[in-house]
Amino acid sequence: MNAKNSKRGFFFTIMAFAILSFMLLTAQVWVRTFEQQDQSASSRFKGEAMRLILFTLSDKQLSDFANASCYYATAKLDTFTSDIANGLPDRPSSDPANNGTGSVENAIKALMINGTTGPLSGGNGIKYDSNDSERYTIESWQGKIRSAANVMGFNATFSNVTNFTVRQIDAWHVGVYFEMQMNISDLDGTMFQSKTLRANSSFPLQGFLDPSITRGDMGSTHRHLARNLSVEKQIFKHLNYTNASDVAPALMTDHATEGNGWFYGPITWDYPETINESELGKLSQYILVSDFNENLTQYADFYGGLIITTAPGWSTEIYTDPNNGCAYNMSTETECLNCRRTYTRLDSACPAKGEEMLTGEGYNTTTRPMIAGVSSDFTLKLPTVRRTGLTDQKFVLIDNEYKNAEDKAKGDHMVWDITKLRDMEICGFYLENTAAPSFFQRMLANPYGQKNSNLGIESFVAGQWAGGADDKYSSYANDQLSRLDWEFYGPQSGVIGTPEKIKGMPGCKSLEMCSISAVNATKEGLGKFRLSQDAIARYKLTPIKCSKYPSNMCDS
């Protein structure tokens, strides 16, 4: 009995041990399976986190940063090269359309990468301060990415920047492109992923300084001032002005019946009796537009010029010369200023009588430039000039072939709109011209030696600082120069044709103002606007240049 019980106890012990061993083995397998699952989940998490980091850093983000970095670098270089001591040397360019500008491209690239250029010109260079370096350099941007990745438990590294180009993509925009490879790994170095990032962006040049203008103003043959006293001119493009033909004069009428002299100014329909007394003295700057009436004859000499919207009439009667008894058809001009009288002999045996002007008391004479027989609707085609704080106005140039009233029936009689040309000059807008230097070329010490670029731009220089009262070099000699910027500051040997004054432009609003003897326009004002013969042809100004009509020249 005891032996049987002993056998049962042994069997129970063996079975209990076996069951316990199985349970321990099962638990061990479960633990190891859980550990492997946990390690697999951790790996998957790291992999997803790395992919998320790479996905978050997009080409667009890099392009946005590159845009800001390139813009700032270009602006810093622009300001730097505006000093006469810092014009850059000519260097071969990667862009065949912008020859000589390799030094510009290299300087912008260096500033973008690490914020320092080394010596650029005369030992001078550009070096960002710590704030600028932190904000605008590629090295700083990469450092921020590395720090962020490290916080997340990863290492981030970058390749060198490759395929870097910075160039003008057209006359008005700068573009930048480059590539870099980003590598990311875990801290143990067991996982690794990479991605190639591409930056591609551009920005407009609107508002940038024209460094060649400031350097020119500092030059020894101009005002020769220190940098902080020299003029600064910004680059702006009008939406509707692309090349010279876009600002050419517009002919308002060429069908007038008579006129003499020339004058430029705003038009008015108002007579002195309707004008505030304080404004009466300014009427000499205006052109009166009116039909023929008694007020016109009374107030004609109050104005700078006259446009009469009606044509003169004629009355004819038989006239017998008391000296020889010859009879003539005598035709007398009516409803006119500076009226004429003509004689047609009725007998060929009688002597011919010439035309005469009717002068003296009782006749409608004026000394003002005038044009008659102009249709009144010409004013509808004129643009309105908006003037801050002043009345909006319309301006015209009246121009006749002959100066003297006795010749008023002869030749051409024109009314011109030159608003766009003056708009470009007064506001300083830039236009495209393949013969002019580009923006990048204007940073060079010799921008005029690298012209003939498809990216070339030009503007007029106008002000007392450019050929006017403040530009006193060699007894105001610069007043004789073309006001096209690269002709004004460039070698005069490259200017095609002797610069000539243009009617209606600064210093040449009237014959009196524009004449050689009128020095106040130069010594007290903006000087007398001139352009080279090449520029006159391109801007289609031949009809209003001073030598167009030998009998009505500006210098007579």
Task: For 201-248, write each residue's pLDDT tens digit.
Answer: 999 999 999 999 999 999 999 999 999 999 999 999 999 999 999 999
Residue with the bigger pLDDT between 359 and 9: it is 359
Residue with the bigger pLDDT between 9 and 39: it is 9
309 close to 375: Cβ distance less than 8 angstroms: yes
**Rounded to whole angstroms, what are the CA distances from 512 to 141, 508, 509?**
64, 8, 8
Mean pLDDT value across residues 501-511: 95
Length in residues, the chain? 556
| Token pair in block for residue 235 | 């680059």
Identify the band that residue 6 occupies on the pLDDT scale cut at 50, 70 and 90: low
Q: Is the pLDDT of residue 315 over 70?
A: yes
C-alpha radius of gyration, the chain, whole number: 41
Give the pLDDT confidence of 361-410 residue by residue, as tens digits: 778 999 999 999 999 899 999 999 987 777 889 999 999 999 999 999 99
State what percent of residues in the chain have pLDDT above 90.
72
| Confidence (pLDDT) at 191 | 76
Residue owning tokens 């008579």:
258
Q: Is the pLDDT of residue 22 over 50?
A: no
479 close to 466: Cβ distance less than 8 angstroms: no
| Confidence (pLDDT) at 445 | 95
Give the pLDDT confidence of 469-504 residue by residue, as tens digits: 999 999 999 999 999 999 999 988 878 889 999 999
* Whole-angstrom distance, CA of residue 503 vs CA of residue 514: 8
Residue with the bigger pLDDT between 518 and 464: it is 464
CA terminus-to-terminus distance, the chain: 156
| Confidence (pLDDT) at 296 | 95
SS3 409: coil
Q: Is the pLDDT of residue 298 over 90?
A: yes
Q: How many CA atoms lie within 13 A of 284 on its CB side?
A: 6
Residue with the bigger pLDDT between 112 and 42: it is 112
SS3 63: helix
**Mean pLDDT, rounded, of the chain:** 89
> How many other C-beta atoms lie within 10 A of the C-beta of residue 229?
9
Q: Is the pLDDT of residue 510 over 80?
A: yes
| Confidence (pLDDT) at 276 | 81
State what percent of residues in the chain have pLDDT above 70.
89
514 close to 268: Cβ distance less than 8 angstroms: no
Q: Is the pLDDT of residue 23 over 80?
A: no
555 close to 515: Cβ distance less than 8 angstroms: yes
* Whole-angstrom distance, CA of residue 247 vs CA of residue 242: 9
Residue-wise over 417-454: b if at least 16 C-beta within 10 A, else e?
bbbbbbbbbeebbbbbbebbbbbbbbbbbbbbebbebe
In 3D space, the residue among 479, 475, 495 whose CA is nearest the CA of residue 487 turns out to be 495
**C-alpha angle 247-446-475 in degrees, rounded to nearest 5:** 70
**C-alpha angle 242-243-248 in degrees, rounded to nearest 5:** 115
Range of 43-57, 256-270, 449-463 with top mean pLDDT? 256-270
Residue owning tokens 């003939």:
452
293 close to 301: Cβ distance less than 8 angstroms: no
542 close to 548: Cβ distance less than 8 angstroms: yes
In 3D space, the residue among 527, 502, 510 whose CA is nearest the CA of residue 422 turns out to be 502
| Confidence (pLDDT) at 142 | 94
Mean pLDDT value across residues 510-517: 87
* Whole-angstrom distance, CA of residue 84 vs CA of residue 445: 8
* Whole-angstrom distance, CA of residue 497 vs CA of residue 67: 43
350 close to 324: Cβ distance less than 8 angstroms: yes
**Rounded to whole angstroms, what are the CA distances from 241 to 427, 442, 462?**
12, 21, 18
Task: Tell me, letter by letter, the H, E, C secondary structure of 88-121.
Answer: ECCECCCCCCCCCEHHHHHHHHHHHHHCEEEEEE
Mean pLDDT value across residues 1-24: 53
| Confidence (pLDDT) at 26 | 46
Identify the band that residue 450 occupies on the pLDDT scale cut at 50, 70 and 90: confident
| Token pair in block for residue 137 | 């350099």
Residue with the bigger pLDDT between 297 and 28: it is 297
**Rounded to whole angstroms, what are the CA distances from 230 to 113, 217, 444?**
32, 6, 18
Mean pLDDT value across residues 62-87: 98
Identify the band that residue 522 occupies on the pLDDT scale cut at 50, 70 and 90: confident
